[in-house]
Structure 1
Amino acid sequence: MGSEHPDRREDHEAAVRLPRQGLWVAEPAARPRMPDPVRTAAVRAVLIVAVTLTLATITFFLALTGSWLALPMVLISVAGTIVGTWGVLDVWITRQMWKQRYGVVSVPSSTARGRRGAPEPAYGSAYAPQPAPPHPGHPGHGPGHGPGPGSQPGGLRRA
């Protein structure tokens, strides 16, 4: 009774020693997961659109039968269409907001860089403080106040 075939015993021992692969193998996603606020808005929009389409179908059949419920259902379907449009726009706006707040990566390959071929200003000229131009209505500026074009070399002078 203790005489088992030697090959079977080796196969059994090898199977016990090898780690088993699980039934579920996690594969990397082709696209990254949507941010939570965008996903929440998308789920909300899908539910609203599904309910609106269901209401529209019921409204259609009630209108075919000539039921008195057709008119209230038409009004409800119109309101559902407006709310469904809001839900889809909410997904779009939330997605754009997320991209604006968290989507720009500050690296040279990012779209946040300047145009190619645009001349870069010299370090000193770009960061040097520029004097503010004088306002004509401000006291102290204008004819008879302070140095004017007549006192500058090469300027206009009265004859």
Structure 2
Amino acid sequence: MGVTRRTDRAARRGRLPDEVRSAAVRAWISFSFTLVSVMVTLLASLADGWLFVPAVLVTALGFFASTWCLLEIWIARQIAAQRVWSSDAHPAWTPQGGPGRPPRGHRPRPA
């Protein structure tokens, strides 16, 4: 009856490249550790304990690491997209890099 299953949509979409998947896993791990350190910082501030200052420093480093991981995901996706559009024989920055993506505004001429 035309019911679309989740596996059908996932099969159409394709699989992420290994570099992107591993970068996403690192980002989730970094984010989870940052979230735990935020909770430790909050509890240390409420308890007025000695652990507050080191917890703030660890939280700041975790925030930086999470931002770095998100940037890594973005770069890995751009590299994977460039790899798909370029030829295997030549790098993408050389003029003989294969057909690749047509330039913007390019329309094929009618025969």
TM-score by length of 1: 0.50
Pick the aligned partner of 2:84 from 76, 87, 102.
102
Determine the structure 2 residue equivalent to 1:63: 45
Task: Confirm or deny that 1:90 pairs with 2:80.
Answer: no
Compare CA radii of gyration and give the structure with the larger one. 1
Q: Could you tell me how far 1:114 is from its partner in structure 2? A: 5.5
Q: Secondary structure at the match of 2:13?
A: coil
State the Cα RMSD in Å.
2.6
CA contact (8 A) 2:30 2:65 kept: yes
Q: May I ask how many residue pairs the two structures share in their alignment?
A: 91
Contact 1:104–1:112, Cα closer than 8 Å, also in 2: no
Q: Which structure would you say has the larger RCO, counting Cα contacts within 8 Å and 6 or more residues apart?
A: 2
Cα distance in 2 for partners of 1:91, 1:114 equals: 26
8 Å contact from structure 2 (residues 85, 101) kept in 1: no
CA distances 1:37-74 after superposition (whole Å, capped 9, x unpaired): 10010011111111111111111111111011001100
1:115 maps to what in 2?
Answer: 105
Residue identity in the other structure for 2:39: T
Per the alignment, residue 44 of structure 1 pairs with 26
CA distance in 2, matches of 1:39, 1:104: 21
Aligned to 1:19: none
Unaligned runs of 5+ in 2: 1-6, 88-97
Q: Distance in 2 between matches of 1:51 and 1:84?
A: 9
What one-letter code is carried by the residue in structure 2 that aligns with 1:115?
Answer: G
Identify the structure with the greater helix proportion. 2
Match of 2:93 in 1: none
State the identity as a percent. 34
Instruction: State the SS of the aligned residue for 2:14.
Output: coil
Distance (Å, rounded) in 1 between the aligned partners of 2:104 and 2:86: 14
